[in-house]
Amino acid sequence: MFGFLRKKLGEVISKFSEKAKEEKKEELKEEKQPAAKPTPATEKAEEVKAEVKPREKEKEIKEELKEKKEAKEEIGEEPKKGFFERITSAVTEAVTTTKISEARFDELFQDLEITLLENNVAVEAIDKIKAGLKTNLVEKPLQRGKVEEAVRKTLRSSIEELFISGYDFKEKIVETAAVKKPVKVMFVGINGSGKTTTIAKIAKLLQDNKLKVVIAASDTFRAAAIHQLQEHADKLGVKLMKHDYGADPAAVAFDAIKYAEAHGIDAVLIDTAGRLHSNVNLVDEMKKIARVAKPDLKIFVGEAITGNDCVEQARKFNEAIGIDGIILAKADVDEKGGAAISVSYVTQKPILFLGTGQGYNDLSPFKPELVVESLGLAA
Ligand SMILES: Nc1nc2c(ncn2[C@@H]2O[C@H](COP(=O)(O)OP(=O)(O)O)[C@@H](O)[C@H]2O)c(=O)[nH]1
Ligand SMILES: [Mg+2]
């Protein structure tokens, strides 16, 4: 994940410090008459001096003076100039800070903006990143030679601020189940986003933590969906509550909850059909499941790889039923990472897990610090 973005960010950040240096140089040119670098002639003078020194011990002072004189003649007035150069560079060195003007920042940010857009970062998230960088970098004294570090640090905190802090999903289920069983979790998202696979992974996670689980096959829209879930349930040894294809999804969820109540089951995981967030009837059906099942958590499952589409879906689902968390499936095949960077900020909901493959254990708790690290921005 983030392969592309990481590479580009590095390039863009170093541009910031190069440009800041250029800017400082231009400023200095205007203010003083510099020539910070030694000219070839000065270098030559140094060379000559170095050569002369060992001879001091071997030769007569006269000879030595003569040699020195010759050396001076050879280099003309250069040593004098070198003196002034040294003064100038001392003054330059004393200027320990540099600045990035607003105009320069806007120009530099364009590169970063394009990079972020190309990697599917949502416009709102980009605006937030820009505001953060601007506040911390524009017209602020930055230590010379440390501009890149400052940009990196600011970018890191701006990106970290995009993540709504989450909760430990497993702990939340454990705690809630200790108070009131069963804990009901409803999974929503468009068709093919990875809901059913994710439910199987979550079932495995909860089982591994000694929690009893039942799954509700409330995707009654396609016969194959019930079959797919049955296969997972069989492999995991989990009870599946199912009705026939075409049955009322809310009724399936209701039965699963009743079953859980009767059998001391800790958690009910409710699968749902791919609701096209733009389809009013399907959204109404999803709302009905939520009304009947009264889920403790509604989790949006999105496909990381679809980038901005995924973010838009999350926004719509959140508006329609109010989500409590996000799982981004297929993070393993997403090179860009824009959805992961944006979806939490856009919905103001935490990302709980990343789906990282098709196996039952391919579910990683989401950690913002890992995003920052993957982007090459870690401290
Ligand atoms: N590589 C990868 N594939 C996944 C992941 N999660 C789901 N899939 C695959 O995506 C496809 C659709 O998943 P499914 O769970 O059926 O989606 P649903 O329609 O939302 O229930 C299946 O082929 C899954 O194996 C993941 O994290 N990584
Ligand atoms: Mg499914």
Q: What is the pLDDT of residues 77-87, one digit of tens each?
A: 444 445 445 43
Under DSSP, the state recorded for 165 is: P
Among 127, 194, 153, 157, CA closest to 342? 127
Atom nearest to 355 CA in ligand 1: 27
Angle at CA 326, nearest 5°, toward 321 and 329? 125
Q: Is 251 a residue whose pLDDT tops 60?
A: yes
Q: What is the pLDDT of residue 143?
A: 82
Q: Residue 218 C-alpha to ligand 2 middle, in angstroms?
A: 9
Atom nearest to 331 CA in ligand 1: 27
Q: What is the pLDDT of residue 142?
A: 84
What percentage of the chain reaches a pLDDT higher than 70? 78
Residues of the chain with CATH 3.40.50.300: 169-365
Residues of the chain with CATH 1.20.120.140: 3-25+97-160
Confirm or reject: Cβ of 224 under 6 Å from ligand 1: no
CATH 3.40.50.300 for domain 169-365: yes
Mean confidence (pLDDT) of the chain: 83
187, 316 Cβ separation under 8 angstroms:
no
Confirm or reject: Cβ of 333 under 6 Å from ligand 1: yes
Q: Is 35 a residue whose pLDDT tops 50?
A: no
3-state secondary structure of 39: coil
pLDDT bracket for residue 21 (50, 70, 90): low
Q: Residue 196 C-alpha to ligand 1 middle, in angstroms?
A: 7
Nearest CA to ligand 1 atom 7: 194
- Min mean pLDDT across 54-68, 112-126, 157-171 is at 54-68
Cα 122 to Cα 51, 171, 307, 313, 320: the distances in Å are: 63, 31, 8, 13, 20
Q: Residue 234 C-alpha to ligand 1 middle, in angstroms?
A: 18
Spelled out in words, what is the top-level CATH class assigned to the domain 3-25+97-160? mainly alpha
363-365 and 351-355 as β-strands: parallel, antiparallel, unpaired? antiparallel
- Give the predicted TM-score (pTM) of the model: 0.80
* Segment 298-332, tens digit of pLDDT: 999 999 999 899 999 999 999 999 999 999 999 99
Report helix angle 61-75 to 78-94, nearest 10.
70
125, 341 Cβ separation under 8 angstroms:
yes
Strand ranges of the sheet holding 213-218, from the earlier edge strand across to the other edge: 239-241, 213-218, 267-272, 183-188, 297-303, 325-329, 351-355, 363-365
